[in-house]
Structure 1
Amino acid sequence: MTDPRKPGRLDAAAIARYRQDGFLAPLPVLDAAEAAHHLAQLDAIAAQRAGRMVPTQNVKAHLLAPFLWQLVHHPAILGPVEDLLGPDLLCWGSGFFDKQPGTSQHVPWHQDATYWGLSAPQAVTAWVAFTPSRVENGCMRVSPATHHHVLAHADTGDNTAMLPGREEVLVEVEESTAVDIVLRAGEMSLHDVLLVHGSRPNASGLRRCGFAIRYIPAHLTTTGGLRGTATLVRGRDHGGFDLEEAPEAPFHPAALRRYQQVIRQWMRIVMPRMGGGAPPDAKRGGAT
């Protein structure tokens, strides 16, 4: 899948498969020890913050913790993403999907770009496993080759849905052809912003924690006359977004002050598309 002549890059067959199916997996990012260290850092932060990342801080989590800032810049992630989106890359968002054992939290079938407000549906989500992601603990599932059209969505009204808008695609998804994305800790999957995907509840005794990073080509902008923010991670800035800054330390006061402005800008763009102006904490529970 990766090109042996260019370590950390995709070969031509993998790129063609991604264009056809809308996803690739698994791809290596971290070794087992590094993945465990990342999970420990996340848990240390959560232990100081009521045991979790609150939803409004789980939109662009890399702006609040240096180890996550470093991860969104990781060459093993950016190399394959560059092969798919081009050399000039922005990180538009990042956040955790963390399912505790035996919980009902799940992700309905959806497309990522539904409420993003981007000028074009051109983006890749890198889903990095901090723990093993298996069928029994609710790994991500994808519906291959469903990334060629924007589909309508609606709010399910289900507070166990792990999405800010609780959204679900308004088409029948063919379950028999769905693919389970099984990952070891430290591996990642890549999927197109329009690929229909979701996940079932965690029916096992094993936690399932993954970090979803949203990458876009730097030539994109936001729609509706509003200006968004993003992190330049590779190549050249094209000027379509206000550029975000690295955190000085985990939840440093200066980083938190900047983040409040960033999240206000994000909410002005995204929340009206969800049918309301309330932040995620007010709309639903704190699943991440």
Structure 2
Amino acid sequence: MAGLDQAQIARYRADGVLHPVPVMDGAAALDLRQRVEALEAQHRHGAGGRDLTQYFRVNGQLVIPLLAEIARLPAILDKVETILGPDLLVWSVELFIKEPGDGTIVSWHQDLTYWGMGETDEEVTAWLALSDVSVDAGCMRFIPGSHVGGLVPHGDTFDAANLLSRGQEIGGVDETMAIPGPLKPGEMSLHHGRCFHASAPNRSDDRRIGCAIRYVTPEVRLGLNRDYAMLVRGQDQAQGWINVAGPRGLFDVRDLALYEEVLAAQAATLAAGAEGNVAMYQGTNP
């Protein structure tokens, strides 16, 4: 496997989303899934005074070597490089897990809405399936071409079933224009930070497990603040980010301290304009 071909690049540029993109075979995806589930079994009480869900859903690459390892996979980086160029930073790595029948959803939204990155084209999310992410399992749905219109207003619903921090939602989306993005284990989708997307509940008999990796270029800026990112390819000549190296080991105390520093620095941006405390996702601490 190498980078995307010209037809794939053109499709991504036009639609703001590309899927499915093969990354690994099913056996390799199963191995990653089993390693995730082993972490769940071994650290069900969390670490550093926080629930494991907190680290799975927010900046897990800082304290969990497995998530940093996934973000550095050459098969992913080669494809992201054809979109963003040779210098790549990872802003965040997150696990999205929907249990069968738990009823959780993700409403129609744009990723960049509350991240403070503005209208940039220099960000892409790689969403890697570690289980069979079928339509029944609640795969993502996308509105092709929605990334070209800029950021749009979102309403804050604070719906408990919504996995987003505020239950943020774009009103009036024409769902007849939506396309599903089912993925087999080891496949990924790539989507632009302004592309409208959502996902329905998991109605399958298995867990729906995906790993979302947010890649940016060194030129991206987050408002007036410097944020933290992990350099995974090339170099950061712009030096607008605070570069982090990735974890020393699983829940190393020094990495846990850095995690708290990063979380505190990001909190103001994520909560801007909201009433009350806001975490990045439902079920995590602000």
TM-score by length of 1: 0.90
Shift of 1:121: 2.4
Runs of at least 5 residues in structure 2 that lack an aligned partner in the other structure:
none
Shift of 1:54: 2.4
Checking the alignment, whether the CA contact within 8 Å between 1:146 and 1:194 is kept in structure 2 is yes
Which residues in structure 2 correspond to 1:149-228 (within 5 Å)? 149-170=150-171, 172-223=172-223, 225-228=224-227
Are residues 1:67 and 2:66 paired? yes
Q: Which of 3, 9, 16 does residue 22 from structure 1 map onto?
A: 16
Checking the alignment, whether the CA contact within 8 Å between 1:55 and 1:280 is kept in structure 2 is no
Shift of 1:18: 0.7
Q: Distance in 1 between matches of 2:52 and 2:147?
A: 30
- Letter of the 2:98 counterpart: K
Q: Distance in 2 between matches of 1:46 and 1:271?
A: 29
Q: Distance in 1 between matches of 2:120 and 2:54?
A: 24
Q: Which is worse superposed, 154-163 or 191-200?
A: 154-163
Question: Aligned-residue CA RMSD in angstroms?
Answer: 1.9
- Letter of the 1:53 counterpart: L
Shift of 1:53: 3.0
Task: Name the structure 2 match of 1:101.
Answer: 100
The CA deviation string for residues 63-99 of structure 1, in whole angstroms up to 9 with x for no partner, is 1111211111111111111111111111111111100
Q: Distance in 1 between matches of 2:53 and 2:2?
A: 33
Q: Percent identity?
A: 38
Shift of 1:129: 0.4
Which residues in structure 2 correspond to 1:249-288 (within 5 Å)? 249-279=249-279, 284-286=282-284
Q: Distance in 1 between matches of 2:14 and 2:6?
A: 12
Checking the alignment, whether the CA contact within 8 Å between 1:120 and 1:220 is kept in structure 2 is no
Shift of 1:275: 4.2
Shift of 1:42: 1.2
User: Structure 1 pair 144/278, CA: closer, same or farther in 2 (3 Å)?
Assistant: closer
Task: Name the structure 2 match of 1:8.
Answer: 2
Task: Name the structure 2 match of 1:31.
Answer: 25
Task: Name the structure 2 match of 1:76.
Answer: 75
Checking the alignment, whether the CA contact within 8 Å between 2:127 and 2:213 is kept in structure 1 is yes
Shift of 1:114: 0.5
Q: Secondary structure at the match of 2:27?
A: helix
Q: Secondary structure at the match of 2:146?
A: coil
Which residues in structure 2 correspond to 1:48-67 (within 5 Å)? 48-50=43-45, 53-55=52-54, 58-67=57-66
Q: Secondary structure at the match of 2:52?
A: coil
**What is the number of residues matched between the two proteins?**
277
- Letter of the 2:232 counterpart: V
Q: Distance in 2 between matches of 1:228 and 1:275?
A: 23
Checking the alignment, whether the CA contact within 8 Å between 1:159 and 1:285 is kept in structure 2 is no
- Letter of the 2:196 counterpart: V
The CA deviation string for residues 194-232 of structure 1, in whole angstroms up to 9 with x for no partner, is 000000001121210101111111111110x22111111
- Letter of the 2:74 counterpart: P
Task: Name the structure 2 match of 1:146.
Answer: 146
Which residues in structure 2 correspond to 1:117-132 (within 5 Å)? 117-118=116-117, 120-122=119-121, 123-132=123-132
Q: Secondary structure at the match of 2:272?
A: helix
Shift of 1:49: 2.7
Task: Name the structure 2 match of 1:3.
Answer: none
